[in-house]
Amino acid sequence: MAEVRLQNVSKSFGRQTALEDVSLRVPNGSFVVLLGPTGAGKTTLLRIVSGLDTPNEGDVFIAGRSMAGLPPAERNVAMVFQQYSLYPHLTVRENMEFPLKSPLLRTPKAEIARKVGEVAEILQISHKLDNKATALSGGEMQRVSIGRALVRSPNVYLMDEPLSSLDAKLRADLRVELKNIQANLGATFLYVTHDQIEAMTMATHVGVLDHGRLVQFGTPREIYEQPVSIYAAGRLGQPHINILPADLFGPAPSGAAYIGMRPEQILQGEGQDSLVKRVEHLGDQTRLHLAFRNHDLTTVIDAHTPLRAGDIVKIQPLKPFYFDAAGARIV
């Protein structure tokens, strides 16, 4: 296990800038989640850490050592690919044994078998060990791909949306398992996702990427409670943060163009009237879609609310965020 540090890393593909001057420190034993929409540069960042791509500028340090010019094999990183990348003609067991059979390691046979069995158990694929990799469902392939990484003890685990094609139940199970593994081993994880639940539940740190730039880095709570911009605020929170004209509820701080309110920043029962447009019962939460002076906003309410469409409810901002015209946070 080791610390990973990126220093002023830039990468472009032709005219397309994928990463721009990214500096990032992944502390030893931390679980860093990279958030951002498609094209934000998350995968490119992982590939640069792994050594599959080389940065145009800047350097990557693993355990304090510069990785410039080193191929993936010499960086001791384990990577889980979004497209699984299993060895198709091998069985599940052979796929998972593959990294351990590297002549560099000389792992004893019994040790390999024990390790593979253990990881297969965690990933709930023990019964598939002798199947061909091509005879699996998408979710199973993804788990084999995670397993192939977990059997190793690398400097850092790099995972590119590893849970994206699993069903909800399995995803919830594996979130817990991955977090346990990371905590027990003290392993360093660099993890790409756009699932905010994964980010909130597993991450010790979250990095928000926007068009190749790291716009905020901190604990999940910091990102959630103190976002630096509308963009960063929008990465976390279900329902999504409400962004409205700054002076909609009354006087705003000078320079503010937008007011941002998460559901808990909307106080109900006081203030001004708004119209209930729709009540959504989602089971674990109930969402209230409101219309306020020709603007739509969404908040949450007690599951057993008597409110119905057409009712009037009073609302008022509670410690809201203010952003300037460019989207940067000012209060």
H helix runs in 106-167, sequence order: 109-122, 138-150
Based on the shown chain and the rule CB under 8 A, indicate whether residue 157 belongs to the binding site for other proteins.
no
Based on the shown chain and the rule CB under 8 A, indicate whether residue 144 belongs to the binding site for other proteins.
no
- What phi and psi values does residue 81 have, to the nearest 5 degrees? -90, 150
Based on the shown chain and the rule CB under 8 A, indicate whether residue 79 belongs to the binding site for other proteins.
yes
Q: Applying CB under 8 A, which part among 73-81, 168-176, 188-196, 261-269 lies near other proteins?
A: 73-81
Rounded to whole angstroms, the Cα distance separating 113 from 244 reads: 58
Based on the shown chain and the rule CB under 8 A, indicate whether residue 153 belongs to the binding site for other proteins.
no
CB of 215 to other proteins, least distance (A): 28
Amino acid residing at 180: N
Whichever of 86 and 252 has its CB closer to other proteins, that residue is 86
Smallest CA-to-CA distance from 229 within 241, 215, 242, 240 is with 215
Whichever of 89 and 114 has its CB closer to other proteins, that residue is 89
Which one-letter DSSP state was computed for residue 118? H
Q: Order of strands, edge to edge, in the sheet holding 205-210?
A: 77-80, 156-160, 189-192, 31-35, 205-210, 213-218
Based on the shown chain and the rule CB under 8 A, indicate whether residue 90 belongs to the binding site for other proteins.
yes
Whichever of 103 and 306 has its CB closer to other proteins, that residue is 103
Based on the shown chain and the rule CB under 8 A, indicate whether residue 13 belongs to the binding site for other proteins.
no
Alpha-carbon torsion (248, 249, 253, 258), positive or negative: negative
CB of 123 to other proteins, least distance (A): 17
Q: Applying CB under 8 A, which part among 21-29, 102-110, 201-209, 250-258 lies near other proteins?
A: 102-110
Let me know if 251 is exposed, middle or buried by CB neighbors in 10 A (0-12, 13-18, 19+): exposed
Q: Which residues in 196-225 contact other proteins (CB under 8 A)? A: none
Q: Which residues in 117-136 contact other proteins (CB under 8 A)? A: 132
Q: How far apart are the first and last CA of the chain?
A: 39
CA neighbours within 13 Å on the CB side: how many for 244?
A: 21
Rounded to whole angstroms, the Cα distance separating 8 from 298 reads: 39
Based on the shown chain and the rule CB under 8 A, indicate whether residue 52 belongs to the binding site for other proteins.
yes
CB of 85 to other proteins, least distance (A): 4
Binding site for other proteins (CB under 8 A): 50-52, 71-73, 76-79, 81, 83, 85-90, 98-99, 102-105, 132, 148
